[in-house]
Structure 1
Amino acid sequence: MSVLGEDGSASAWYNYWVYKYLFLFFLSSVRLLSNYCLELPSGIEDTIIKVMGVTTAEYDLLFSVSAWPNIFLCLVGGVLVDKLLGRRLGLLLFVICLLLGQIVWGVGGLVDNYIIMLVGRFFIGAGNELIIVIDHSFKATWFKEDLSLAISIDIGFSRLGGTLAILLPQLIYDSLSMFHTPTSRLGVTILTAAGFMIIAMIFSVIVIQADYMREKSAKEFKSDDVAFTDKSKGIKQVFSFIFLLSVSINMLFTPVLYSFVSIAQKFFVQKYGLSIKMANIANGLLFGSAIVLTPVAGMIISKVGFHLFWVLLCNLTTALPALLMFMFSNTESYIPFIAGIFYSLSYTLGGPSFTALPALVVDKEYITTGYGILRGAYNASLSAIVYITGFIIDTKGYFMLQAFFVYLTILCIHIVLLLIVLDFISQKPRLNVPGLWIKYIINK
């Protein structure tokens, strides 16, 4: 199916915004629901500890068991999707994987078996991460010059899922008064998320059908000329120095933010004398603007382009000043709120910028592998930085922790500057180009 564009030339239906963003709604809804399942323990932390009789360390393991394996699973999964499964089958399989994991976790709650719960959480983590990898791959194919906007909307959906995971589970647990045993109430609370994943599976089928129609229309719409793909070139792109540098930005920027969020409540209480309630509000500001402002930032970045300049801007003007405020302030109670807003703005500007970089470097035949490497490296970095964060707090204190975060941010700035120079002197710049150029770069 094709229609005539404004200039009289034929244009495929999937290039029109109403179809593209309807597709994005269903794709991002899958991400929202999967993220809800992943972060669900955050909303019933105290309940899990009391009902299951586990320690805080055992509760934390519910998150760790879903994170460490993904260092390897993302890479392997990305290669499998590119070489064997394809995006459509891969999405369906990993949504089913997450659904089964949620059911197993819920059954573990019903029978009061912590080991079964851990098994379920492992499958949830694996499914969620690989859904993210495929999600990015779909967006790179469908959106091209609007990729940053699509990523920003997806980030908003993801954070909405995380917010709902904090707000809803305890309300659901408290409403299940018809179940007399706490373990039954806990198990049913967890299993409600399995119901959400059934909805996600329906949405994924819609995504699969839409992408199949797009691919079929694209083959009919294009000329009969067959383009030759140099596969060795694609492999070199996946492991090129430029690509690895772009991955390292993601390894430094986002893990520092997430690591700080994980310890921020206690930090705000101890250093600034905030109550737990006010500390939670200040901590919420670290992601507060992401849901609302990130799509706006993504729209601007998509139109303007120059992704590396945006990454540099968010580090220099928001992330670094926020960390320096935390580092050198005394006990002023307003600092967490001001610095929190700054840090939130850094994520708002940075997220859509550096997440789009692999799609600008890697050919479409290897894009899922590229994003698999990105997510695997991110998980490795996050796990390491979270561990180092706890170690520094226990041995050196919060001042040295902030110094460590400042050092990583400055290192990230240096890498961005290096990428800007390398892209500028390149014969074919790809990363730091105007927005109008991007549609000619992605999926070439």
Structure 2
Amino acid sequence: MVNFAQAKHKQANMADLEERQSLLGENDGDREPGKPMPAICDPNHLLHRVVVLVFMCFLGFGSYFCYDNPAALQTQVIQDLGLTTASFMQLYAWYSWPNVVLCFFGGFLLDRVFGVRLGTIIFSLFVCVGQVIFATGAWTNQFWLMEAGRFIFGIGGESLAVAQNTYAVNWFKGKELNLVFGLQLSMARLGSTVNMNIMGWVYSKVADDFGSPGHTVLGASLMIAAVTCVFSLICALILGFLDKRAERILHKEQEGTGEVIKITDVKDFSAALWLIFIICVGYYVAVFPFIGLGQVFFIEKFSFSPAEARAVNSIVYIISAPASPVLGFIVDKTGRNVFWVLIAVAATLAAHMMLAFTFWNPWIAMSLLGVSYSLLACALWPMVAFVVPEHQLGTAYGFMQSIQNLGLAVISIAAGAILDSKGYLVLEVFFCACVSALIAVVLLYFVDYLKGKRRLEP
């Protein structure tokens, strides 16, 4: 009986060894039984997790690179396709429309339907297909097809960001998670920055080959940009393989996003949370639509060359890449989130007023906008967790992203219409009015102070 038990135990050990060897691509001659695997192959080792982190950061590179393709090629898109500015801004609105709803369901799809690995690959495919359709629409001069491409691209883009965060939590929870989130944000802004500064050059090179600018050149340039989405899809595939391998070696289950969405929780939201929503929408609609229209603004008002205009328009992303982790550390150490949000909103209002009413070097205003944008992102989003019970966090963040995308879609269309009919001065006054979310910040402070809990200043 003892011999039978020993034989069974030995057989089980051999099965485990064979599984381990198959996962690591080894055979009996490669490594002695029981010998530790190389650090780069060990899912528990920092070196292996660094390799995973590289693919994790590049996972969203293509999405962020292509999101602002229209902004980087604003002049070319409008001229080659014969569009009004209002029509041009539809390209941003169509990205945002699907995310008015998907912000509620992206986490659910990852947790309950696809799983993080398959979900990440599916969302990456949506990004790739959407960009290809967008480029094909430009190539064939079919604007409706370009809008359809941006809609499909939007379905994948925001949900891919949720998947990226889920991977980060699964691999780095309790270890270097804050640093990882900072690095992911920096890589995202790097993608936006590279897009702003390289797509004009790509268009010029393609135009040289085709002989003259036109919608065919525009389509070819956007198709070249789609290569970054394919690269991110490859990263999704590799990341899925590494995650599956780690799950089998470490015998662990996939963790979900942690997002529990219950629409009925909305009725329990406090006044402080609704003010946070107002601040979020009022602030972001004064930043992203402006960047989408900024290139021509700098050319017309400040007589910049197209290259100079693209460079100054991208400074918000350039600054936010290194500044976000630093400012996040400062906010964590000092607390007083409402104070920092107030500073960020006031600085953004000052930046827009400088751009609207002065001829000062726009690098000053745009640099100020870049710092304030990073500061607000670090201070505003964590405040939700201070005023909402943990079981309602998923609903609160989903609702916040949903109305943010709704605001971006509506304001993008409105900004284009204002620019067509009234010009850039009135548009800047409109953006200043949007940043009147400053009033909501003051109200938020008093609501929190009068309740005597000071929940927003940990």
TM-score between the two structures when normalised by the length of structure 2: 0.71
Is structure 2 residue 148 aligned with structure 1 residue 116?
Answer: no
Per-residue CA shift, 1:96-127, capped at 9, x if unaligned?
11111122223333333332222222111221
Tell me what 2:69 maps to. Answer: 40
User: Following the alignment from structure 1 to structure 2, what is the Cα–Cα distance between the partners of residues 218 and 432?
Assistant: 40
Matching of residues 126-145 of structure 1 within 5 Å? 126-144=155-173
The residue identity in structure 2 corresponding to 1:275 is S
Is structure 2 residue 326 aligned with structure 1 residue 296?
Answer: yes
SS of the residue 2:286 aligns to: helix
Matching of residues 2-17 of structure 1 within 5 Å? none
User: Following the alignment from structure 2 to structure 1, what is the Cα–Cα distance between the partners of residues 454 and 280?
Assistant: 23
Mark the CA change 1:169 to 1:383 in structure 2 (over 3 Å): closer, same or farther: same
Tell me what 2:343 maps to. Answer: 317
Tell me what 1:275 maps to. Answer: 303
Per-residue CA shift, 1:135-175, capped at 9, x if unaligned?
23433444456554433322222222122222223322332
Tell me what 2:188 maps to. Answer: 158
Matching of residues 44-443 of structure 1 within 5 Å? 44-144=73-173, 147-176=177-206, 177-179=208-210, 182-212=214-244, 241=270, 247-262=277-292, 274-277=302-305, 283-301=313-331, 304=333, 306=335, 309=336, 311-324=337-350, 326-327=352-353, 332-334=358-360, 336-356=362-382, 371-386=397-412, 394=422, 397=426, 401=430, 404-415=433-444, 418=447, 424=453, 433=458
- In terms of mean alpha carbon deviation, does 235-244 or 141-150 score higher? 235-244
Mark the CA change 1:253 to 1:52 in structure 2 (over 3 Å): closer, same or farther: closer
User: Following the alignment from structure 1 to structure 2, what is the Cα–Cα distance between the partners of residues 347 and 254?
Assistant: 9
For structure 2, the residue ranges without an aligned partner over 5 or more in a row are: 1-19, 21-41
User: Following the alignment from structure 1 to structure 2, what is the Cα–Cα distance between the partners of residues 404 and 237?
Assistant: 27
User: Following the alignment from structure 1 to structure 2, what is the Cα–Cα distance between the partners of residues 405 and 418?
Assistant: 21
User: Following the alignment from structure 1 to structure 2, what is the Cα–Cα distance between the partners of residues 238 and 178?
Assistant: 59
User: Following the alignment from structure 2 to structure 1, what is the Cα–Cα distance between the partners of residues 184 and 267?
Assistant: 24
The residue identity in structure 2 corresponding to 1:171 is W
The residue identity in structure 2 corresponding to 1:191 is M
Tell me what 1:27 maps to. Answer: 56
Per-residue CA shift, 1:28-50, capped at 9, x if unaligned?
21212111122212232333333
SS of the residue 1:112 aligns to: coil
Question: How many residues are treated as equivalent by the alignment?
Answer: 405
The residue identity in structure 1 corresponding to 2:238 is I
Mark the CA change 1:262 to 1:119 in structure 2 (over 3 Å): closer, same or farther: closer
The residue identity in structure 2 corresponding to 1:197 is C
SS of the residue 2:119 aligns to: helix
User: Following the alignment from structure 2 to structure 1, what is the Cα–Cα distance between the partners of residues 384 and 44?
Assistant: 22
The residue identity in structure 1 corresponding to 2:303 is S
User: Following the alignment from structure 1 to structure 2, what is the Cα–Cα distance between the partners of residues 351 and 255?
Assistant: 14
For the 8 Å contact 1:324–1:406, the answer to whether it is kept is no
SS of the residue 1:98 aligns to: helix
User: Following the alignment from structure 2 to structure 1, what is the Cα–Cα distance between the partners of residues 216 and 417?
Assistant: 37
Quote the offset at 1:202 in angstroms: 1.3
For the 8 Å contact 1:39–1:165, the answer to whether it is kept is yes
Tell me what 2:17 maps to. Answer: none
For the 8 Å contact 1:252–1:412, the answer to whether it is kept is no
For the 8 Å contact 2:289–2:408, the answer to whether it is kept is yes
Quote the offset at 1:378 in angstroms: 1.4
Mark the CA change 1:289 to 1:178 in structure 2 (over 3 Å): closer, same or farther: closer
% identical aligned pairs? 23
Quote the offset at 1:128 in angstroms: 0.9
User: Following the alignment from structure 1 to structure 2, what is the Cα–Cα distance between the partners of residues 200 and 99?
Assistant: 9
Mark the CA change 1:240 to 1:15 in structure 2 (over 3 Å): closer, same or farther: farther
Quote the offset at 1:204 in angstroms: 1.0
For the 8 Å contact 2:266–2:395, the answer to whether it is kept is no
Bigger Rg, structure 1 or 2: 2
The residue identity in structure 2 corresponding to 1:334 is W
User: Following the alignment from structure 2 to structure 1, what is the Cα–Cα distance between the partners of residues 438 and 426?
Assistant: 19
Per-residue CA shift, 1:291-340, capped at 9, x if unaligned?
232233345556x384xx2x434333343045246548996543744443
User: Following the alignment from structure 2 to structure 1, what is the Cα–Cα distance between the partners of residues 274 and 445?
Assistant: 12
TM-score between the two structures when normalised by the length of structure 1: 0.72
The residue identity in structure 1 corresponding to 2:232 is A
Mark the CA change 1:391 to 1:351 in structure 2 (over 3 Å): closer, same or farther: same
User: Following the alignment from structure 1 to structure 2, what is the Cα–Cα distance between the partners of residues 150 and 186?
Assistant: 36
